[in-house]
Chains A and B, each alone.
Chain A
Protein backbone atom coordinates (compact mmCIF):
# COMPACT_ATOMS: atom_id res chain seq x y z
CA UNK A 1 0.00 0.00 0.00
CA UNK A 2 2.71 2.40 1.00
CA UNK A 3 4.88 1.57 -2.01
CA UNK A 4 1.92 2.14 -4.26
CA UNK A 5 1.21 5.56 -2.80
CA UNK A 6 4.78 6.80 -3.27
CA UNK A 7 4.46 5.50 -6.83
CA UNK A 8 1.39 7.63 -7.43
CA UNK A 9 3.08 10.59 -5.80
CA UNK A 10 6.08 10.20 -8.05
CA UNK A 11 3.88 10.12 -11.13
CA UNK A 12 2.08 13.27 -9.99
CA UNK A 13 5.36 15.06 -9.29
CA UNK A 14 6.79 14.06 -12.66
CA UNK A 15 3.63 15.27 -14.40
CA UNK A 16 3.75 18.61 -12.56
CA UNK A 17 7.40 19.06 -13.42
CA UNK A 18 6.70 18.33 -17.07
CA UNK A 19 3.84 20.82 -17.08
CA UNK A 20 5.92 23.58 -15.49
CA UNK A 21 8.68 22.92 -18.02
CA UNK A 22 6.32 23.07 -20.96
CA UNK A 23 4.50 26.18 -19.76
CA UNK A 24 7.64 28.13 -18.93
CA UNK A 25 9.40 27.58 -22.26
CA UNK A 26 8.82 29.91 -25.14
CA UNK A 27 7.20 32.55 -22.98
CA UNK A 28 9.84 35.20 -23.51
CA UNK A 29 10.33 37.15 -26.74
CA UNK A 30 13.46 39.07 -27.51
CA UNK A 31 11.93 41.53 -29.97
CA UNK A 32 9.31 44.12 -28.97
CA UNK A 33 5.90 43.03 -30.24
CA UNK A 34 3.40 45.13 -32.18
CA UNK A 35 -0.17 43.80 -32.18
CA UNK A 36 -2.29 44.51 -35.20
CA UNK A 37 -5.86 43.71 -36.20
CA UNK A 38 -6.33 43.47 -39.93
CA UNK A 39 -8.65 42.11 -42.58
CA UNK A 40 -8.71 38.63 -44.02
CA UNK A 41 -7.63 39.93 -47.44
CA UNK A 42 -4.17 41.06 -46.29
CA UNK A 43 -3.61 37.75 -44.52
CA UNK A 44 -5.16 35.24 -46.95
CA UNK A 45 -3.19 36.65 -49.87
CA UNK A 46 0.10 36.23 -47.98
CA UNK A 47 0.96 39.97 -48.03
CA UNK A 48 1.62 40.08 -44.29
CA UNK A 49 3.71 36.91 -44.34
CA UNK A 50 5.79 38.77 -46.90
CA UNK A 51 5.95 42.14 -45.09
CA UNK A 52 6.45 41.01 -41.47
CA UNK A 53 10.01 39.66 -41.91
CA UNK A 54 11.00 42.86 -43.78
CA UNK A 55 9.53 44.96 -40.96
CA UNK A 56 11.47 42.92 -38.41
CA UNK A 57 14.70 43.34 -40.35
CA UNK A 58 14.17 47.11 -40.81
CA UNK A 59 13.04 48.03 -37.30
CA UNK A 60 13.65 45.06 -34.99
CA UNK A 61 9.93 44.97 -34.16
CA UNK A 62 7.96 41.76 -34.39
CA UNK A 63 4.56 42.14 -36.03
CA UNK A 64 1.77 39.90 -34.71
CA UNK A 65 -1.62 40.08 -36.32
CA UNK A 66 -5.13 38.73 -36.07
CA UNK A 67 -7.11 38.71 -39.28
CA UNK A 68 -10.84 39.32 -39.04
CA UNK A 69 -13.42 41.43 -40.90
CA UNK A 70 -12.90 45.21 -40.89
CA UNK A 71 -15.81 45.66 -38.43
CA UNK A 72 -14.27 43.33 -35.86
CA UNK A 73 -10.75 44.67 -36.46
CA UNK A 74 -11.94 48.18 -35.60
CA UNK A 75 -13.77 46.79 -32.55
CA UNK A 76 -10.49 45.27 -31.34
CA UNK A 77 -8.99 48.73 -31.82
CA UNK A 78 -11.79 50.41 -29.88
CA UNK A 79 -11.29 47.97 -27.01
CA UNK A 80 -7.54 48.61 -27.00
CA UNK A 81 -6.79 44.95 -27.65
CA UNK A 82 -4.38 45.82 -30.45
CA UNK A 83 -1.93 48.67 -31.08
CA UNK A 84 -2.78 49.36 -34.69
CA UNK A 85 -5.36 48.45 -37.34
CA UNK A 86 -4.99 47.95 -41.10
CA UNK A 87 -8.43 47.99 -42.69
CA UNK A 88 -10.34 48.90 -45.83
CA UNK A 89 -13.59 50.69 -45.20
CA UNK A 90 -13.20 54.48 -45.41
CA UNK A 91 -16.58 55.22 -43.80
CA UNK A 92 -16.19 53.14 -40.66
CA UNK A 93 -12.54 54.19 -40.44
CA UNK A 94 -13.62 57.84 -40.44
CA UNK A 95 -16.05 57.10 -37.62
CA UNK A 96 -13.28 55.23 -35.78
CA UNK A 97 -11.05 58.33 -35.90
CA UNK A 98 -13.91 60.78 -35.22
CA UNK A 99 -14.82 58.79 -32.10
CA UNK A 100 -11.25 59.25 -30.88
CA UNK A 101 -10.49 55.52 -31.01
CA UNK A 102 -7.67 56.01 -33.50
CA UNK A 103 -5.21 58.79 -34.31
CA UNK A 104 -3.24 59.72 -37.42
CA UNK A 105 -4.80 57.52 -40.13
CA UNK A 106 -2.65 57.04 -43.26
CA UNK A 107 -3.61 55.75 -46.67
CA UNK A 108 -1.38 52.82 -47.59
CA UNK A 109 -2.49 51.09 -50.76
CA UNK A 110 -5.48 49.97 -52.73
CA UNK A 111 -6.65 47.03 -54.68
CA UNK A 112 -10.02 46.63 -56.29
CA UNK A 113 -13.22 44.71 -55.93
CA UNK A 114 -14.51 42.54 -58.73
CA UNK A 115 -17.95 41.09 -59.38
CA UNK A 116 -17.77 37.32 -59.77
CA UNK A 117 -20.23 34.92 -61.32
CA UNK A 118 -20.49 31.64 -63.22
CA UNK A 119 -18.80 31.77 -66.63
CA UNK A 120 -22.18 30.97 -68.25
CA UNK A 121 -23.40 34.28 -66.70
CA UNK A 122 -27.14 33.41 -66.60
CA UNK A 123 -28.14 36.94 -65.54
CA UNK A 124 -26.09 38.54 -68.31
CA UNK A 125 -24.07 41.15 -66.42
CA UNK A 126 -20.70 40.70 -68.10
CA UNK A 127 -18.97 44.00 -68.83
CA UNK A 128 -21.87 46.13 -67.56
CA UNK A 129 -21.26 49.07 -65.18
CA UNK A 130 -21.32 47.74 -61.63
CA UNK A 131 -24.51 49.53 -60.51
CA UNK A 132 -26.40 48.26 -63.51
CA UNK A 133 -25.04 44.75 -62.97
CA UNK A 134 -26.29 44.71 -59.37
CA UNK A 135 -29.69 45.98 -60.55
CA UNK A 136 -29.95 43.08 -63.03
CA UNK A 137 -28.95 40.52 -60.38
CA UNK A 138 -31.72 41.76 -58.08
CA UNK A 139 -34.25 41.98 -60.91
CA UNK A 140 -33.58 38.45 -62.11
CA UNK A 141 -33.27 37.10 -58.56
CA UNK A 142 -29.95 35.50 -59.45
CA UNK A 143 -28.23 33.85 -56.46
CA UNK A 144 -25.84 36.30 -54.77
CA UNK A 145 -23.49 35.32 -51.95
CA UNK A 146 -22.84 38.15 -49.47
CA UNK A 147 -20.25 38.26 -46.69
CA UNK A 148 -22.91 39.84 -44.46
CA UNK A 149 -20.31 40.33 -41.72
CA UNK A 150 -19.69 44.10 -41.66
CA UNK A 151 -16.34 43.55 -43.35
CA UNK A 152 -14.93 46.16 -45.71
CA UNK A 153 -16.15 44.11 -48.66
CA UNK A 154 -19.63 43.82 -47.19
CA UNK A 155 -19.83 47.57 -46.58
CA UNK A 156 -18.75 48.21 -50.18
CA UNK A 157 -21.42 45.78 -51.38
CA UNK A 158 -24.10 47.63 -49.39
CA UNK A 159 -23.03 50.94 -50.92
CA UNK A 160 -23.37 49.44 -54.40
CA UNK A 161 -26.90 48.13 -53.71
CA UNK A 162 -27.81 51.62 -52.57
CA UNK A 163 -26.25 53.24 -55.64
CA UNK A 164 -28.07 50.71 -57.84
CA UNK A 165 -31.37 51.74 -56.27
CA UNK A 166 -32.00 48.29 -54.88
CA UNK A 167 -33.40 48.20 -51.34
CA UNK A 168 -30.90 46.38 -49.13
CA UNK A 169 -31.60 42.66 -49.69
CA UNK A 170 -32.15 40.60 -46.57
CA UNK A 171 -34.67 37.77 -46.64
CA UNK A 172 -34.89 37.44 -50.40
CA UNK A 173 -34.47 33.80 -51.36
CA UNK A 174 -31.70 34.60 -53.88
CA UNK A 175 -29.62 36.52 -51.32
CA UNK A 176 -27.23 34.17 -49.49
CA UNK A 177 -25.81 35.76 -46.34
CA UNK A 178 -22.81 33.58 -45.55
CA UNK A 179 -21.45 35.44 -42.53
CA UNK A 180 -18.06 33.99 -43.41
CA UNK A 181 -14.71 35.10 -44.81
CA UNK A 182 -14.07 36.09 -48.41
CA UNK A 183 -12.84 32.73 -49.66
CA UNK A 184 -15.66 30.82 -48.00
CA UNK A 185 -18.10 33.21 -49.58
CA UNK A 186 -16.57 32.80 -53.05
CA UNK A 187 -16.70 29.04 -52.53
CA UNK A 188 -20.39 29.25 -51.68
CA UNK A 189 -21.06 31.37 -54.76
CA UNK A 190 -19.22 28.72 -56.79
CA UNK A 191 -21.21 25.85 -55.29
CA UNK A 192 -24.51 27.64 -55.85
CA UNK A 193 -23.73 29.00 -59.35
CA UNK A 194 -24.15 32.45 -57.90
CA UNK A 195 -22.64 35.93 -58.03
CA UNK A 196 -20.48 37.64 -55.42
CA UNK A 197 -18.45 40.77 -54.75
CA UNK A 198 -14.84 40.01 -53.81
CA UNK A 199 -11.49 41.71 -53.52
CA UNK A 200 -9.25 40.83 -56.42
CA UNK A 201 -6.46 39.45 -54.25
CA UNK A 202 -8.64 36.82 -52.62
CA UNK A 203 -10.10 35.89 -55.99
CA UNK A 204 -6.62 35.28 -57.41
CA UNK A 205 -5.88 33.00 -54.44
CA UNK A 206 -9.16 31.18 -55.10
CA UNK A 207 -8.44 30.91 -58.81
CA UNK A 208 -4.99 29.47 -58.07
CA UNK A 209 -6.44 26.83 -55.73
CA UNK A 210 -8.72 25.65 -58.55
CA UNK A 211 -5.80 25.13 -60.90
CA UNK A 212 -7.04 27.43 -63.62
CA UNK A 213 -10.60 26.16 -63.83
CA UNK A 214 -12.60 28.09 -61.23
CA UNK A 215 -16.42 27.71 -61.03
CA UNK A 216 -16.77 31.51 -60.92
CA UNK A 217 -14.92 34.12 -62.97
CA UNK A 218 -14.59 37.92 -63.05
CA UNK A 219 -17.54 39.45 -64.89
CA UNK A 220 -17.36 43.12 -63.90
CA UNK A 221 -14.20 45.05 -63.07
CA UNK A 222 -12.40 48.37 -63.42
CA UNK A 223 -15.23 50.62 -62.22
CA UNK A 224 -14.11 53.61 -60.13
CA UNK A 225 -16.58 52.69 -57.37
CA UNK A 226 -14.85 49.30 -57.07
CA UNK A 227 -11.65 50.82 -55.71
CA UNK A 228 -10.71 49.31 -52.35
CA UNK A 229 -8.62 51.65 -50.21
CA UNK A 230 -6.54 50.32 -47.28
CA UNK A 231 -5.51 52.54 -44.37
CA UNK A 232 -3.40 52.07 -41.30
CA UNK A 233 -4.58 53.68 -38.04
CA UNK A 234 -2.68 53.60 -34.74
CA UNK A 235 -5.01 53.13 -31.77
CA UNK A 236 -5.37 56.18 -29.55
CA UNK A 237 -3.10 55.61 -26.53
CA UNK A 238 -5.04 58.19 -24.52
CA UNK A 239 -7.91 55.71 -24.30
CA UNK A 240 -5.95 52.64 -23.27
CA UNK A 241 -2.82 52.65 -21.13
CA UNK A 242 -1.61 49.30 -22.48
CA UNK A 243 -1.57 50.32 -26.12
CA UNK A 244 1.92 50.73 -27.52
CA UNK A 245 1.50 53.80 -29.70
CA UNK A 246 5.22 54.29 -30.24
CA UNK A 247 5.52 50.99 -32.13
CA UNK A 248 2.21 51.61 -33.88
CA UNK A 249 3.38 54.97 -35.22
CA UNK A 250 6.68 53.46 -36.31
CA UNK A 251 4.77 50.81 -38.21
CA UNK A 252 2.49 53.36 -39.90
CA UNK A 253 5.52 55.48 -40.90
CA UNK A 254 7.27 52.38 -42.18
CA UNK A 255 4.25 51.30 -44.28
CA UNK A 256 4.05 54.64 -46.08
CA UNK A 257 7.83 54.97 -46.56
CA UNK A 258 9.09 54.88 -50.14
CA UNK A 259 10.93 51.62 -49.60
CA UNK A 260 7.96 49.70 -48.20
CA UNK A 261 5.66 51.15 -50.83
CA UNK A 262 7.97 49.66 -53.45
CA UNK A 263 7.98 46.34 -51.59
CA UNK A 264 4.18 46.33 -51.62
CA UNK A 265 4.16 46.97 -55.38
CA UNK A 266 6.59 44.09 -55.83
CA UNK A 267 4.40 41.61 -53.96
CA UNK A 268 2.95 39.23 -56.50
CA UNK A 269 0.66 36.24 -56.31
CA UNK A 270 0.61 33.86 -59.26
CA UNK A 271 2.63 36.47 -61.12
CA UNK A 272 0.02 39.19 -60.59
CA UNK A 273 0.40 42.41 -58.62
CA UNK A 274 -2.24 42.53 -55.87
CA UNK A 275 -1.84 45.82 -54.05
CA UNK A 276 -1.13 49.23 -55.48
CA UNK A 277 0.69 51.55 -53.05
CA UNK A 278 -0.76 55.07 -52.87
CA UNK A 279 0.47 56.57 -49.61
CA UNK A 280 0.05 60.29 -49.23
Chain B
Protein backbone atom coordinates (compact mmCIF):
# COMPACT_ATOMS: atom_id res chain seq x y z
CA UNK B 1 0.00 0.00 0.00
CA UNK B 2 2.84 2.41 0.78
CA UNK B 3 3.54 2.82 -2.93
CA UNK B 4 0.48 5.04 -3.25
CA UNK B 5 1.67 7.58 -0.68
CA UNK B 6 5.23 7.07 -1.85
CA UNK B 7 4.05 7.86 -5.39
CA UNK B 8 2.50 11.10 -4.25
CA UNK B 9 5.64 12.29 -2.52
CA UNK B 10 7.85 11.19 -5.38
CA UNK B 11 5.63 13.17 -7.75
CA UNK B 12 6.38 16.27 -5.71
CA UNK B 13 10.06 15.35 -5.74
CA UNK B 14 10.03 14.82 -9.52
CA UNK B 15 8.33 18.13 -10.16
CA UNK B 16 10.61 20.16 -7.96
CA UNK B 17 13.89 18.44 -8.81
CA UNK B 18 13.00 17.92 -12.52
CA UNK B 19 15.76 15.44 -13.27
CA UNK B 20 17.01 15.33 -16.86
CA UNK B 21 15.27 12.05 -17.73
CA UNK B 22 11.82 13.16 -16.56
CA UNK B 23 12.29 16.53 -18.17
CA UNK B 24 13.11 14.85 -21.49
CA UNK B 25 9.86 12.83 -21.33
CA UNK B 26 7.90 15.97 -20.49
CA UNK B 27 9.49 17.84 -23.40
CA UNK B 28 8.79 15.00 -25.82
CA UNK B 29 5.18 14.82 -24.61
CA UNK B 30 4.71 18.56 -25.17
CA UNK B 31 6.40 18.59 -28.56
CA UNK B 32 4.36 15.59 -29.66
CA UNK B 33 1.06 16.90 -28.30
CA UNK B 34 1.56 20.28 -29.95
CA UNK B 35 2.43 18.73 -33.32
CA UNK B 36 -0.52 16.34 -33.16
CA UNK B 37 -2.95 19.04 -32.06
CA UNK B 38 -1.75 21.42 -34.81
CA UNK B 39 -2.10 18.76 -37.49
CA UNK B 40 -5.48 17.62 -36.16
CA UNK B 41 -6.95 21.13 -36.07
CA UNK B 42 -5.44 22.14 -39.40
CA UNK B 43 -7.04 19.16 -41.11
CA UNK B 44 -10.06 18.65 -38.87
CA UNK B 45 -11.56 22.12 -38.74
CA UNK B 46 -11.93 22.61 -42.53
CA UNK B 47 -13.16 19.03 -42.95
CA UNK B 48 -15.64 19.40 -40.11
CA UNK B 49 -16.86 22.72 -41.50
CA UNK B 50 -17.34 21.28 -44.97
CA UNK B 51 -19.21 18.35 -43.52
CA UNK B 52 -21.47 20.48 -41.34
CA UNK B 53 -22.11 23.29 -43.78
CA UNK B 54 -22.61 21.74 -47.19
CA UNK B 55 -25.40 19.48 -48.26
CA UNK B 56 -24.19 16.77 -50.59
CA UNK B 57 -24.82 13.17 -51.46
CA UNK B 58 -23.22 10.72 -49.10
CA UNK B 59 -22.91 13.29 -46.33
CA UNK B 60 -24.84 11.16 -43.87
CA UNK B 61 -22.57 8.21 -44.56
CA UNK B 62 -19.43 10.28 -43.98
CA UNK B 63 -20.88 11.65 -40.73
CA UNK B 64 -21.67 8.14 -39.55
CA UNK B 65 -18.17 7.02 -40.53
CA UNK B 66 -16.61 9.90 -38.56
CA UNK B 67 -18.78 9.06 -35.54
CA UNK B 68 -17.79 5.39 -35.77
CA UNK B 69 -14.10 6.24 -35.96
CA UNK B 70 -14.45 7.99 -32.58
CA UNK B 71 -14.18 4.49 -31.16
CA UNK B 72 -10.88 3.63 -32.90
CA UNK B 73 -8.66 1.72 -30.45
CA UNK B 74 -5.20 3.25 -30.14
CA UNK B 75 -3.38 -0.03 -30.81
CA UNK B 76 -5.26 -0.47 -34.08
CA UNK B 77 -4.15 2.97 -35.21
CA UNK B 78 -0.63 2.09 -34.07
CA UNK B 79 -0.70 -1.15 -36.03
CA UNK B 80 -2.02 0.42 -39.22
CA UNK B 81 0.45 3.31 -39.11
CA UNK B 82 3.26 0.84 -38.34
CA UNK B 83 2.34 -1.23 -41.39
CA UNK B 84 2.62 1.87 -43.58
CA UNK B 85 5.78 3.44 -42.17
CA UNK B 86 7.79 0.30 -41.43
CA UNK B 87 10.84 0.03 -43.63
CA UNK B 88 9.01 -2.74 -45.50
CA UNK B 89 5.85 -0.67 -45.84
CA UNK B 90 4.92 1.71 -48.67
CA UNK B 91 6.18 4.82 -46.82
CA UNK B 92 9.27 3.12 -45.38
CA UNK B 93 11.76 5.33 -47.19
CA UNK B 94 10.64 8.36 -45.17
CA UNK B 95 12.06 6.82 -42.00
CA UNK B 96 9.16 7.82 -39.76
CA UNK B 97 9.16 4.78 -37.47
CA UNK B 98 10.52 5.42 -33.97
CA UNK B 99 10.31 9.16 -34.52
CA UNK B 100 8.16 11.90 -33.02
CA UNK B 101 6.91 12.76 -36.51
CA UNK B 102 5.57 9.24 -36.97
CA UNK B 103 3.90 9.36 -33.56
CA UNK B 104 2.28 12.69 -34.46
CA UNK B 105 0.80 11.13 -37.60
CA UNK B 106 -0.68 8.28 -35.58
CA UNK B 107 -2.13 10.58 -32.94
CA UNK B 108 -3.59 12.83 -35.63
CA UNK B 109 -5.44 9.88 -37.13
CA UNK B 110 -6.65 9.07 -33.63
CA UNK B 111 -7.94 12.55 -32.82
CA UNK B 112 -9.13 13.63 -36.26
CA UNK B 113 -12.58 11.96 -36.01
CA UNK B 114 -13.23 13.85 -32.75
CA UNK B 115 -12.52 17.24 -34.27
CA UNK B 116 -14.35 16.46 -37.51
CA UNK B 117 -17.47 15.08 -35.80
CA UNK B 118 -17.72 17.79 -33.14
CA UNK B 119 -16.97 20.64 -35.58
CA UNK B 120 -19.58 19.33 -37.99
CA UNK B 121 -22.28 19.23 -35.33
CA UNK B 122 -21.26 22.68 -34.03
CA UNK B 123 -21.68 24.13 -37.53
CA UNK B 124 -24.96 22.28 -38.03
CA UNK B 125 -26.28 23.77 -34.80
CA UNK B 126 -25.51 27.34 -35.82
CA UNK B 127 -28.64 29.36 -36.34
CA UNK B 128 -29.88 29.27 -39.89
CA UNK B 129 -30.36 33.05 -39.64
CA UNK B 130 -26.63 33.63 -39.26
CA UNK B 131 -26.04 32.03 -42.60
CA UNK B 132 -28.64 34.17 -44.30
CA UNK B 133 -27.37 37.32 -42.64
CA UNK B 134 -23.86 36.53 -43.77
CA UNK B 135 -25.07 35.80 -47.28
CA UNK B 136 -26.99 39.10 -47.46
CA UNK B 137 -23.91 40.90 -46.21
CA UNK B 138 -22.13 39.46 -49.20
CA UNK B 139 -19.91 37.04 -47.28
CA UNK B 140 -18.75 34.09 -49.26
CA UNK B 141 -16.40 31.14 -49.23
CA UNK B 142 -13.41 31.66 -47.01
CA UNK B 143 -14.89 34.55 -45.01
CA UNK B 144 -18.11 32.64 -44.44
CA UNK B 145 -16.20 29.65 -43.09
CA UNK B 146 -14.05 31.77 -40.76
CA UNK B 147 -17.08 33.64 -39.39
CA UNK B 148 -19.08 30.46 -38.84
CA UNK B 149 -16.13 28.82 -37.06
CA UNK B 150 -15.58 31.97 -34.98
CA UNK B 151 -19.26 32.05 -33.99
CA UNK B 152 -19.08 28.46 -32.76
CA UNK B 153 -15.75 28.93 -31.01
CA UNK B 154 -16.90 27.52 -27.67
CA UNK B 155 -18.09 24.30 -29.22
CA UNK B 156 -14.79 24.14 -31.13
CA UNK B 157 -12.88 24.68 -27.90
CA UNK B 158 -14.69 21.67 -26.47
CA UNK B 159 -13.75 19.70 -29.59
CA UNK B 160 -10.10 20.72 -29.24
CA UNK B 161 -10.03 19.89 -25.52
CA UNK B 162 -11.55 16.46 -26.15
CA UNK B 163 -8.97 15.81 -28.87
CA UNK B 164 -6.24 17.01 -26.53
CA UNK B 165 -7.43 14.61 -23.85
CA UNK B 166 -7.33 11.65 -26.22
CA UNK B 167 -3.90 12.63 -27.56
CA UNK B 168 -2.15 13.36 -24.28
CA UNK B 169 -3.49 10.26 -22.54
CA UNK B 170 -2.95 7.63 -25.23
CA UNK B 171 -0.17 5.10 -24.96
CA UNK B 172 -0.86 2.58 -27.76
CA UNK B 173 0.30 4.70 -30.69
CA UNK B 174 3.22 6.23 -28.79
CA UNK B 175 4.48 2.82 -27.76
CA UNK B 176 4.11 1.15 -31.13
CA UNK B 177 5.29 3.98 -33.38
CA UNK B 178 7.69 5.68 -30.97
CA UNK B 179 9.15 2.57 -29.39
CA UNK B 180 9.70 4.31 -26.04
CA UNK B 181 13.29 5.24 -26.90
CA UNK B 182 14.98 6.99 -24.02
CA UNK B 183 15.83 10.67 -24.64
CA UNK B 184 13.96 10.61 -27.96
CA UNK B 185 10.50 9.12 -28.14
CA UNK B 186 9.81 8.38 -24.49
CA UNK B 187 6.70 10.29 -23.45
CA UNK B 188 5.16 10.50 -20.01
CA UNK B 189 2.63 7.79 -20.81
CA UNK B 190 5.15 5.33 -22.27
CA UNK B 191 7.44 6.04 -19.31
CA UNK B 192 4.56 5.13 -16.99
CA UNK B 193 4.09 1.85 -18.87
CA UNK B 194 7.82 1.14 -18.60
CA UNK B 195 8.06 1.93 -14.89
CA UNK B 196 4.98 -0.16 -14.16
CA UNK B 197 6.58 -2.97 -16.16
CA UNK B 198 9.73 -2.57 -14.12
CA UNK B 199 7.72 -2.87 -10.94
CA UNK B 200 8.31 0.72 -9.88
CA UNK B 201 4.66 1.55 -9.18
CA UNK B 202 5.52 4.62 -7.12
CA UNK B 203 7.38 6.25 -10.01
CA UNK B 204 4.48 5.32 -12.32
CA UNK B 205 2.00 7.07 -10.05
CA UNK B 206 4.34 10.05 -9.73
CA UNK B 207 4.54 10.41 -13.52
CA UNK B 208 0.75 10.08 -13.77
CA UNK B 209 0.31 12.96 -11.34
CA UNK B 210 2.81 15.00 -13.32
CA UNK B 211 0.80 14.44 -16.51
CA UNK B 212 -2.39 15.54 -14.74
CA UNK B 213 -0.64 18.65 -13.53
CA UNK B 214 0.38 19.58 -17.08
CA UNK B 215 -3.20 19.10 -18.30
CA UNK B 216 -4.41 21.24 -15.40
CA UNK B 217 -2.05 24.02 -16.47
CA UNK B 218 -3.29 23.77 -20.07
CA UNK B 219 -6.91 24.02 -18.95
CA UNK B 220 -6.25 26.96 -16.67
CA UNK B 221 -4.55 28.69 -19.60
CA UNK B 222 -7.48 27.99 -21.91
CA UNK B 223 -10.12 29.17 -19.47
CA UNK B 224 -8.10 32.36 -19.15
CA UNK B 225 -8.12 32.80 -22.93
CA UNK B 226 -11.84 32.07 -23.00
CA UNK B 227 -12.48 34.64 -20.31
CA UNK B 228 -10.47 37.24 -22.22
CA UNK B 229 -12.36 36.74 -25.48
CA UNK B 230 -15.66 36.90 -23.61
CA UNK B 231 -15.14 40.37 -22.26
Interface residues of A (CB under 8 A from B): 5, 8, 15-16, 18-19, 22-23, 25-26, 35, 40, 44, 49, 64-67, 78-81, 180-181, 183-184, 187, 205-206, 209-210, 240-243
Q: Which residues of A contact B180 (CB under 8 A)?
A: 66-67
- B121 interface contact, C-beta 8 A: no
Interchain CA distance A146-B197 in the complex, whole Å: 15
B182 to A80, Cβ gap below 8 A? no
Interchain CA distance A64-B92 in the complex, whole Å: 19
| B39, closest chain A residue (CB) | A19
| Residues 165-207 of B contacting A (Cβ, < 8 Å) | 179-182, 184, 196-200
Count B-side interface residues using an 8 Å CB cutoff. Answer: 27
B92 to A23, Cβ gap below 8 A? no
Q: Which residues of B contact A240 (CB under 8 A)?
A: 87-88
| A24 nearest CB across to chain B (Å) | 10
The 3 nearest A-B residue pairs measured at CB: A66-B179, A80-B87, A209-B199
B182 to A81, Cβ gap below 8 A? no
| B165 nearest CB across to chain A (Å) | 19
A242 to B87, Cβ gap below 8 A? yes
| B63 nearest CB across to chain A (Å) | 27
Which applies to chain B's interface (DSSP): helix, strand, loop or mixed?
A: loop
B98 to A64, Cβ gap below 8 A? yes
Select which of B92, B146, B197 is within 8 A of A242 by beta carbon. Answer: B92
| B88, closest chain A residue (CB) | A79
Interchain CA distance A78-B89 in the complex, whole Å: 12
| A116 nearest CB across to chain B (Å) | 14
A40 to B197, Cβ gap below 8 A? yes
Interface residues of B (CB under 8 A from A): 27, 30-31, 34-35, 38, 86-89, 92-93, 95, 97-98, 146, 150, 179-182, 184, 196-200
Interchain CA distance A8-B95 in the complex, whole Å: 36
Select which of B27, B98, B197, B199 is within 8 A of A81 by beta carbon. Answer: B98
| B179, closest chain A residue (CB) | A66
Q: Which residues of B contact A209 (CB under 8 A)?
A: 198-200
Known: A66-B98, A81-B87, A183-B198. 7 other contacts (CB 8 A): A15-B38, A22-B30, A25-B31, A35-B98, A66-B181, A80-B87, A242-B87
Q: Which residues of B contact A243 (CB under 8 A)?
A: 87
> Given contacts A22-B35, A49-B182, A209-B200, is CB(A80)–CB(B92) below 8 Å?
yes
| A36, closest chain B residue (CB) | B181
Q: Which residues of A contact B31 (CB under 8 A)?
A: 22-23, 25-26
Select which of A22, A81, A181 is within 8 A of B97 by beta carbon. Answer: A81
| A1, closest chain B residue (CB) | B147
| B201, closest chain A residue (CB) | A209
| B156 nearest CB across to chain A (Å) | 12
A44 to B198, Cβ gap below 8 A? yes
Q: Which residues of B contact A184 (CB under 8 A)?
A: 196-197
| A21, closest chain B residue (CB) | B34
Q: Which residues of B contact A78 (CB under 8 A)?
A: 88
Q: Which residues of A contact B93 (CB under 8 A)?
A: 241-242
Q: Which residues of B contact A80 (CB under 8 A)?
A: 86-88, 92
| B44 nearest CB across to chain A (Å) | 15
B35 to A44, Cβ gap below 8 A? no
| B83, closest chain A residue (CB) | A79
Select which of A19, A79, A205 is within 8 A of B34 by beta carbon. Answer: A19
| A10 nearest CB across to chain B (Å) | 12
Interchain CA distance A205-B198 in the complex, whole Å: 8
| B216 nearest CB across to chain A (Å) | 20
> Given contacts A26-B27, A64-B98, A242-B92, is CB(A187)–CB(B35) below 8 Å?
no
Q: Which of B27, B88, B197, B200 has the most CB of A within 10 A?
A: B197
Q: What are 19 sample pairs from A and B whose C-beta atoms fall under 8 A apart?
A: A5-B146, A5-B150, A15-B38, A19-B35, A19-B38, A22-B31, A23-B35, A40-B197, A44-B197, A64-B181, A66-B181, A81-B86, A81-B88, A183-B197, A184-B197, A205-B198, A209-B198, A209-B200, A242-B92
Select which of A5, A15, A40, A64 is within 8 A of B184 by beta carbon. Answer: A64
Q: Which residues of B contact A241 (CB under 8 A)?
A: 93
Select which of B87, B146, B150 is within 8 A of A79 by beta carbon. Answer: B87
Interchain CA distance A184-B86 in the complex, whole Å: 28
| B185 nearest CB across to chain A (Å) | 9
